[in-house]
Amino acid sequence: MKRRVRLCMKDLFHQDVVEMIERETRKYQIWSIEDPSDPDFDAAYQILWDCFGPHGEMERREAIEAFLRDDPFTPEPSGTYMRYFLLVARDADGKVRGVRDGTVLINPAYAPDLCVIYLAHIFMIPEARGTVLSYWLRISPVELAMQYLTDLHAMGKITLPAPSAPGKYFGMNVDLAAEVEYFTPEERLSWQRILFYGRGGFDAINPRHFPYRQPDFRDPEVIRATGNQPSPFMVLVRRMGRERQAQLPIDEARALMRLLYDDFADHCAPHLLENSLQLVLDRLEERAKRKSFVELLPLPTGPRDLHRLKPLFRHNVFTKYYPDSADVRGYLNSGIRERLLANPRHLDEELARIARELETRPPFVYGSRDKTATWEGTPLAPGSEPLADGPDAGEITREVPAPPSTLPPR
């Protein structure tokens, strides 16, 4: 008889962690495409287009080529500095294993200490899914953003709060922002993507006050023929170094929305953006009459906290917070209303089904033998301690430290 040994992160020396990640990462190289003439451009763009283009969620080729040719040190008319990035990851044999694109956005007039890194699209080749590469493609744009901030500061374009502190992001508040579809159990990718970002420290901005819509990226001729069809998405944010705060100041939320739409204005007609932009700004303005913040909703990380998907359930969010649109009507008329009427416990049963699937792969690495703390020693939120035994024993959960100076903790 034998028993599988579980592994405690607390026992690793910090250099062990660095070495372990280095060995896993050595097989990959991530390259930044700086010009559309780069030999990797065609393949990288085609990978993203094949995945996102058919759904109207990917910019046209000529727009991406223009992004790469634009001078990132010349601000947009709004004053926003934008640095587009297109990253390609290759394995040791030179084969493409992943592609990521997005934009670094800064506008001192909106918020002098805010840098938003918009994570637009990511695609992993099946052979590389489940590897360390997916995590690196999620955070590698931060390295580009730090260099961009340094260059802007050196040129006198912006003033960094702490130019000699790169380890603290030069004193800037750095927000990673991504868009994903709202949760619906019949679409496997919807909850897989949310879990991916939840494990990476992201939260969802409460759609009650932030009913975000991604613009219609289709060809202008198609839009003219079929009408403007922006997509209702939720915005996920990882506020780097501030992941444990449960609230997002309204000023920061407003700046985030404006920066994202400044990016879109570079390739979308302004009249197609105004309604969606104004909808969110109006909701934030209404919220500002009572509160100085909007809520950040924690995302699930595993089978034990799937209840966090409930406030992000597509049917409820579309019904409560979004105006009528083609996407909203299409989903609500797809049979979901009938399923919920026929079975009021439909959502709970689906969450239980997803949990059972996730529990088929129990984790054998856990954070700390102290069940009330993470491997770093910071306390877990009350009630979020891992189970003493069972399939998810030792599962690493979200941690909550001492409250920050101005915002309450979770």
Q: Is pLDDT above 50 for 405? A: no
7 lies in a domain?
yes
Phi, psi of 353, deg, nearest 5: -65, -45
Question: What is the count of structural domains for the chain?
Answer: 1
Mean pLDDT calculated for residue range 137-159:
97
Q: What is the pLDDT at residue 226?
A: 85
* pLDDT tens-digit map of 309-347: 999 999 999 999 998 888 888 888 888 999 999 999 999
Is the overall model pTM greater than 0.85, yes or no?
A: yes
83 lies in a domain?
yes
Q: Is pLDDT above 60 for 389? A: no
Q: What is the pLDDT at residue 391?
A: 34
CA distance 283 to 353: 35
* pLDDT tens-digit map of 32-73: 999 999 999 999 999 999 999 888 889 899 999 999 999 999
Asked whether 224 and 334 are in contact (CB, 8 A), the reply is no
Q: What is the pLDDT at residue 410?
A: 52
Measured between alpha carbons, how far is residue 53 from residues 45, 48, 59, 217 in Å?
10, 7, 7, 9
Would the CA dihedral through 333, 337, 342, 347 be positive or negative?
A: positive
260 lies in a domain?
yes
Phi, psi of 269, deg, nearest 5: -65, 135
Q: Is pLDDT above 80 for 379? A: no
- How large is the C-alpha radius of gyration of the chain? 22
> Greater confidence, 26 or 289?
289
Structure-block tokens of residue 163: 């130019």
- 91-121 burial, b at 16+ Cβ within 10 Å, e below that, comes to beeeebbbbbbbbbbbbbebbebbbbbbbbb
> Greater confidence, 372 or 84?
84
CA distance 181 to 197: 12
Mean pLDDT calculated for residue range 91-95:
91
Q: Is pLDDT above 60 for 388? A: no
Q: What is the pLDDT at residue 380?
A: 64
247 lies in a domain?
yes
Q: What is the pLDDT at residue 351?
A: 97
333 lies in a domain?
yes
Phi, psi of 174, deg, nearest 5: -105, 120
342 lies in a domain?
yes
Question: From the centroid of its chain, how far is CA 27?
Answer: 25
> Greater confidence, 354 or 18?
354
Q: What is the pLDDT at residue 25?
A: 85
Q: What is the pLDDT at residue 381?
A: 56
Structure-block tokens of residue 221: 């001729």
203 lies in a domain?
yes
CA distance 317 to 345: 17
CATH classification of the domain holding 116: 3.40.630.30
Asked whether 162 and 153 are in contact (CB, 8 A), the reply is no
Question: From the centroid of its chain, how far is CA 397?
Answer: 18
Phi, psi of 72, deg, nearest 5: -70, -10
Please give the residue range of the domain that contains residue 81.
Answer: 3-360
Q: Is pLDDT above 50 for 94? A: yes
Q: What is the pLDDT at residue 393?
A: 35
* pLDDT tens-digit map of 179-221: 999 999 999 999 999 999 999 999 999 999 999 998 888 788 8
Q: Is pLDDT above 60 for 249? A: yes
365 lies in a domain?
no
Q: Residues for the chain: how many in total?
A: 410
